[in-house]
Homo-oligomer: A and B are copies of this chain.
Amino acid sequence: MPILHTVNKSPYERNSLDSAISHALKGSSVIMFEDGVYGAMKGTAHADKVSGAMKDVSFYVLGPDLKARGIDESKLIDGVKVVDYSGFVQLTVDNDKVSAWT
């Protein structure tokens, strides 16, 4: 039963992304949105955790929140997929349930 984990906080300010990754089983997905999108940037203190988890977990980031914050897609960690709100909705369809890590 795949799960979509949602993360809406910056990994520098809160422990949300860490907690989501620690509790994400193989085959589940994580979407970063709101201030959570900073967790999708490469070359940062937190990027290795996302890259390291990527063999088991799929990572997504919400495009409209990236744009609001001036983050170009070229700055994203390789393998993180950008979705818009309709893609976010589709992820909640494709997974059996949603777990929010705030």
Contact = CB atoms under 8 A, between A and B. Distances in A.
Interface in A12-33: 12-15
Contacts of A15: 12-13
What's the interface size class on A, roughly? under 10
A15 B35 CA distance: 15
A96 to B, nearest CB: 28
A13 B12 CA distance: 10
A15 B9 CA distance: 12
Contacts of A14: 13-14
A15 B15 CA distance: 9
Nearest to A16: B13
Nearest to A12: B15
Contacts of A13: 14-15
A38 to B, nearest CB: 13
Interface of A: 12-15
4 contacts: A12-B15, A13-B14, A13-B15, A14-B14
